[in-house]
């Protein structure tokens, strides 16, 4: 969701119980503005919150002028100091796919990943044979997973204008969702005044849209794990 309209968006998306505490909201509003200035972003989106075991990651995304360019992702633990996440490479993505379980909430935490594809939550892996250490790239990879996999924008929301995506002013009221049928839960809340989409594949992703207005957005609050039990659960 847009950093500027954060408060309204949070209120709208709160039907799923995913909110921010008042001090987090205030600090986000403050710090995201600064992020926008410092990093020269044209837009800053608050992406969501990944619940770690010890602490939570707050994730924001910065959009530059060229909106087709890959988005920069930032994380923060206290909503004030933001750090840039390194872009995830293919190799890292493959390695991260081996890791199951929750984020620890400690950015320097390194997941041990032995060749047995067994997940160990060791602290600092200084043992000899331990193969790969995956620090923050996991978070990065998951978030990139999300916005590649779940770019939930309203259909026709963005017209391809001048070879770059710009939010267009006129759009249709339909929603775009993808092929795995049943991976979305659409609900009309408050009568028909609010459309809420919840991803069942990534539980915690909530998308909202107020019909006949331009307000839409999504937020993720969850553990950052894909629900691959979906076929069993439907």
Partner 1 sequence: MEDITSEEQVKGNQELKEAGQSWEKNISSLQDPEPKPAEPSGVEKGPETGSPPKGSPPRSPPSRASTSLSDLGRSHASPSPSSLQELSFIPSTLTLAPELKNLTTPSPSDSTTTDIPKAGIPHPDLLEQPPGNKEPSHHLTSPSNIGQQFRQSRSHLYGPRNVSRNHCKQEGLKSDVFQEENSNSDYSLDQPEPQVFEEAPSTLETAIQNAKAYLIKTSSKSGFNLYDHLSNVLTKVLDERPDDAVDIIENISQDVKKAQFNKKLDTLQNENEMLPTYEIAEKQKDLFLQRHLEGAEQDSEEEIVENPLPNVMESAFHFEQAGIGLGTDETFRVFLALKQLTDTHPIQRCRFWGKILGVEMNYIIAEVEFREGEDEDEVEEEDVDEERDEEESESDEGEEDGLPKSIYKAPPAIPKEENRTGANKYVYFVCNEPGRPWVKLPSVTPAQIVVARKIKKFFTGRLDAPIISYPPFPGNESNYLRAQIARISAGTHVSPLGFYQFGEEEGEEEEELEGGRESFEANPDFEGIQVTDLVESLSNWVHHVQHILPQGRCNWFNPVQKNEEEEEEEEEKGEEPDYMEQEVGPPLLTPISEDIEIQNIPPWTTQLSSNLIPQYAIAVLRSNLWPGAYAFSNGKKFDNFYIGWGHKYSVDNYTPPVPQPVYQEYPSGPEITEMDDPSVEQEQTFRAAQEAAALDSEENEETEEEEDEEDDDD
Cα(121)–Cα(102) distance, integer angstroms: 10
Q: Closest separation between CB of residue 56 and partner 1, Å? A: 8
Cα(163)–Cα(115) distance, integer angstroms: 45
Regarding beta strands 216-222 and 205-209, do their DSSP bridges make them parallel or antiparallel, or are they unpaired? antiparallel
What DSSP designation does 79 have?
S
Beta bridge partners of 197: 186, 207
Residue number with CB closer to partner 1 (68 or 186): 186
Residue number with CB closer to partner 1 (126 or 232): 232
Residue number with CB closer to partner 1 (71 or 205): 205
Contact 103, 221 (CB under 8 A): no
Residue number with CB closer to partner 1 (65 or 123): 123
Cα(220)–Cα(51) distance, integer angstroms: 10
Residue number with CB closer to partner 1 (163 or 233): 233
Q: Closest separation between CB of residue 80 and partner 1, Å? A: 10
Q: Closest separation between CB of residue 42 and partner 1, Å? A: 28
Q: Closest separation between CB of residue 65 and partner 1, Å? A: 33
Q: Closest separation between CB of residue 124 and partner 1, Å? A: 16
Contact 230, 201 (CB under 8 A): yes
State both tokens at 88.
């995830």
Q: Which has the closest alpha carbon to 152: 45, 41, 28, 16?
A: 45
- For partner 1, the binding residues (CB under 8 A) are 11, 14-17, 19-24, 49, 51, 53-55, 78, 100-102, 119, 121, 182, 185, 187-193, 198, 200, 203, 222-223, 228-229, 232-234
């Amino acid at each position: 969701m847009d950093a500027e309209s954060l408060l309204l968006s949070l209120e709208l998306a709160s039907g799923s119980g995913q909110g921010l505490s008042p001090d987090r909201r205030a600090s986000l509003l403050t710090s995201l503005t600064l992020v926008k200035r410092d990093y020269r972003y044209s837009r800053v989106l608050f992406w969501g919150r990944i619940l770690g075991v010890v602490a939570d990651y707050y994730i924001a995304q910065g959009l530059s002028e060229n909106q087709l360019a890959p988005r920069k992702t930032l994380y923060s633990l206290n909503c004030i100091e933001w750090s840039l996440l390194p872009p995830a490479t293919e190799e890292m993505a493959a390695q991260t796919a081996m890791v199951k379980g929750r984020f620890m909430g400690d950015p320097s935490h390194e997941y041990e990943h032995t060749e047995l594809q067994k997940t160990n939550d060791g602290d600092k892996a200084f043992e000899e044979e331990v193969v790969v250490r995956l620090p923050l790239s996991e978070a990065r990879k998951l978030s990139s997973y999300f916005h590649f996999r779940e770019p939930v924008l309203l259909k026709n929301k963005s017209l391809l204008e001048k070879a770059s995506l710009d939010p267009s002013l006129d759009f249709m009221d339909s929603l775009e969702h993808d092929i795995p049928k049943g991976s979305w839960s659409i609900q009309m809340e408050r009568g028909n005044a609010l459309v809420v989409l919840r991803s069942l594949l990534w539980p915690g992703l909530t998308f909202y849209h107020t019909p006949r207005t331009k307000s839409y957005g999504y937020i993720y609050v969850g553990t950052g794990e894909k629900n691959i039990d979906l076929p069993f659960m439907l």
